[in-house]
Amino acid sequence: MSHDPSLFKRNDGTCNGGILPQYWGLGNESRGTPSKLPEPFAVEVGNPKDILEGWQEKWFYILDSTDRVTINGSQIIHDCQAMYIIPENNSGDPFHVQKANIPMDKGSYLIYGTAHMHSGVVNATLYAQDGRELCTSTPTYGTGKEAGNEEGYAVGMSVCYPKPGSIKINDGEIVTIESRYKNEFLTGAMGHMYIYLADRLQHTT
Domain limits of the chain?
28-198
CA distance 185 to 96: 10
Q: What is the total residue count of the chain? A: 205
Would the pLDDT of 120 be above 90?
Answer: yes
Taking alpha carbons only, the member of 120, 137, 118 closest to residue 177 is 137
Collect all residues with Cβ–Cβ distance below 8 Å to 193 and sequence separation of at least 6. 113, 114, 115, 116, 124, 126, 135, 137, 177
Residues facing residue 71 across a β-bridge = none
Q: How confident is the model at residue 68 (pLDDT cuts 50, 70, 90)?
A: very low
Strand ranges in 33-173 using DSSP code E only, listed in sequence order: 84-86, 95-103, 109-116, 121-127, 133-137, 139-141, 154-157, 159-160
CATH number of 28-198: 2.60.120
pTM: 0.80
Range picked from 13-27, 82-96, 110-124 for highest mean pLDDT = 110-124
Q: Above pLDDT 90, what percent of the chain?
A: 45
pLDDT tens-digit map of 33-54: 998 999 999 887 777 888 888 8
Amino acid at 80: C
pLDDT at 108: 94
Res 57: pLDDT: 79
